Amino acid sequence: MVAMTSRALVWFKRDLRLQDHAPLQAAAQCDEALALYVVEPEWVRSDECDAQHLAFAQTQVASLRAALAARGLRLLVRWGSVPEVLTTLRREWAFTDLMSHEETGPGWSYTRDRAVMAWCRGHGVAWREWPQSGVVRGLRNRSGWALGWQRRMNAPLVVTPDRWRAASGADAIADGQWPDREIAQAGHGLSRPLPAGVAGGEAAAWQTLEDFLEGRGRHYRSALSSPLTAEQGCSRISAWLAFGVLSMRQVHQATEARIARLRSLQDREANDFAWHLRGFASRLRWHCHFMQKLESQPEIEWVNMARTCDGLREEAFDRERLEAWRTGHTGYPMVDACMRSLNATGWLNFRMRAMLVSFAAYHLWLHWREPGLHLARQFLDFEPGIHWSQMQMQSGTTGINTLRMYSPARQQVDHDPHGEFIRRWVPEFGSAAYPPPIVDERSALQHARDRLYALRQTAPARAEADAVQARHGSRKSGLPPTGRARRRAATPLPNVQASLFD
């Protein structure tokens, strides 16, 4: 009996890297291998997709394609729904195995994966998936989650194969070009340029991380809150991490190694640097903690985590307020400066992200979904699991988290005391061209407090909070505190917009 030739197709999604990549390692054990990246119309047409995301993905795919080709693996680029692409490709090259990483994504990607599973079953293709973060698929209980995260992150990095066996008979298959025409027809051109300093490939991502670990991160804890100091004092790796150009395990292990080296110096300055990096390391755990919420409860992308909040803001939704907030014309200079900066650069530090959401939720009394879609398009580092969990947390609809109502004036005093950031992004501030405040802060916040605190005192809300805590809450023996962890024994749930990891 003749043994069947094993033919592996590696399907890249948000894991655009060569290193620490389990599907690539597994494909090297097969008789033949090809790789595939699909630009999906479902993604391009989705409400959270922006031209900058497509442009960023294009640069990463181009770099990855060159790196794989140097080791004998061809990376094909295709446009279309994945099951249709697989059908067409299998006519040209009868692959036996589909290999990919798990993905915790928005609803369209979940629907896509179910369709791919059905396709594989119908065509006799074995689909194998590997986890690539601390998220646990099929998790039923959070107990022990943090210890599992630690074990997974401390595991050895996956070894990168030197070569793959070329796919025989596949020479006639075109590598494929980036589908600019199809993207434009679907409604997203590539006219929006990538932000300055954002480059393609693992080398650029590693250089940015190493620059942070070796120098820029020495004042991380004190630098991360102000939009002035965070620009350089934060890691700035979040976009590469969101697209999987770096794995969470790589970042974790590089950070821990740097902390260990600093502490071995037994020098006060080095120890202080290590303490700042420990704050960064803790946010890597919180990143996966928030992603786990969407993995365990996908509907929180659309509905309130605490269903007792249903109807709270939906009927009174004010689109004029949304537009003023979205474009940075609310009459609150710190809010407007942050929004304009974000719209222009694709990045904003964690505290200012939280302030923008808080302002939309409490001052403007807007339901989180549409503001969340705008921010998803603006964040180059958009990570669905973190994003929707944080939108609900900062809007007060989880039922369990403290209501954080940021005062824009206080944030200005604390983080832009000389008005430097505001002058940069709101040059008309102080002139007749700048609008008056869109709402009165005192009365707006009083209205928000009255409604939300009254709701939280009801028996249904309290019962639901217990259920939410049991399902999604952190465990005392697991996640580390953030902030001044060594200098303050107890720290509450961090006030972070964790897609940054800052």
We report the CATH number of the domain holding residue 261 as 1.25.40
Average pLDDT, the chain: 91
In a domain, 448, yes or no: yes
The pLDDT value recorded for residue 474 is 64
85 contacts 78 by C-beta, under 8 angstroms: yes
The pLDDT value recorded for residue 169 is 79
DSSP 181: H
Band of residue 475 on the pLDDT scale cut at 50, 70, 90: low
In a domain, 189, yes or no: no
In a domain, 174, yes or no: no
Q: Which of 71-75, 393-397, 459-463, 473-477 has the lowest mean pLDDT?
A: 473-477
Structure token digits, residue 29? 């054990």
- For residues 228 and 355, membership in a common domain is answered with no
In a domain, 155, yes or no: no
Q: Look up the pTM and report it.
A: 0.92
The last residue of one of the domains, among 132, 156, 186, is: 132
- For residues 242 and 368, membership in a common domain is answered with no
Average pLDDT over residues 177-203: 84
Instruction: Give the bridge partners for 22, in sequence order.
Output: none
Q: Is the pLDDT of residue 425 over 90?
A: yes
- For residues 307 and 450, membership in a common domain is answered with yes
Can you tell me which residue has the tokens 């407090």?
449
The pLDDT value recorded for residue 191 is 65
- For residues 334 and 435, membership in a common domain is answered with yes
- For residues 48 and 97, membership in a common domain is answered with yes
In a domain, 58, yes or no: yes
What percentage of residues in the chain have a pLDDT greater than 90?
83
Q: Which of 238-247, 338-347, 478-487 has the lowest mean pLDDT?
A: 478-487
Question: From CA 359, how far away is CA 353, in angstroms rounded?
Answer: 10
Q: Is the pLDDT of residue 292 over 90?
A: yes
The pLDDT value recorded for residue 482 is 44
- For residues 31 and 53, membership in a common domain is answered with yes
- For residues 56 and 76, membership in a common domain is answered with yes
- For residues 111 and 250, membership in a common domain is answered with no
The pLDDT value recorded for residue 490 is 29
Band of residue 43 on the pLDDT scale cut at 50, 70, 90: very high
The pLDDT value recorded for residue 259 is 98
Band of residue 221 on the pLDDT scale cut at 50, 70, 90: very high
Q: Is the pLDDT of residue 384 over 90?
A: yes
Average pLDDT over residues 373-382: 97
What percentage of residues in the chain have a pLDDT greater than 70?
93
252 contacts 277 by C-beta, under 8 angstroms: no
In a domain, 492, yes or no: no
The pLDDT value recorded for residue 502 is 38
Q: Is the pLDDT of residue 496 over 60?
A: no
CA triplet 235, 151, 282: central angle to 5 degrees? 30
Domain count, the chain: 3
In a domain, 357, yes or no: yes
Band of residue 500 on the pLDDT scale cut at 50, 70, 90: very low
SS3 485: coil
Alpha helix segments (H runs only) across 215-267: 220-223, 227-233, 238-242, 248-264
- For residues 334 and 464, membership in a common domain is answered with yes
Q: Is the pLDDT of residue 484 over 80?
A: no
Question: From CA 327, how far away is CA 131, in angstroms rounded?
Answer: 38
The last residue of one of the domains, among 77, 104, 132, is: 132
Which is it for strands 32-39 and 97-101: parallel, antiparallel or unpaired? unpaired
Q: Is the pLDDT of residue 285 over 60?
A: yes
Other CB atoms within a 10 A radius of the CB of residue 43 amount to 22
Torsion of CA 321, 325, 326, 328, to 10 degrees: 130
Determine the structural domain holding residue 93 and report its residue range: 7-132
Average pLDDT over residues 297-326: 93
In a domain, 142, yes or no: no
- For residues 433 and 444, membership in a common domain is answered with yes
Band of residue 198 on the pLDDT scale cut at 50, 70, 90: confident
Q: What is the CATH number of the domain that holds 452?
A: 1.10.579.10
Band of residue 491 on the pLDDT scale cut at 50, 70, 90: very low
Distances (CA, A) of 269 to 264, 272, 390: 12, 5, 34
Helix (H) or strand (E) holding 463: helix 459-472
Band of residue 407 on the pLDDT scale cut at 50, 70, 90: very high
Average pLDDT over residues 146-159: 96
The last residue of one of the domains, among 102, 132, 162, is: 132
C-alpha dihedral sign at 359, 362, 365, 371: positive
Cβ contacts of 392 within 8 Å, gap of 6 or more: 300, 304, 305, 368, 398
- For residues 276 and 313, membership in a common domain is answered with no
Structure token digits, residue 171? 């020479």
Other CB atoms within a 10 A radius of the CB of residue 89 amount to 19
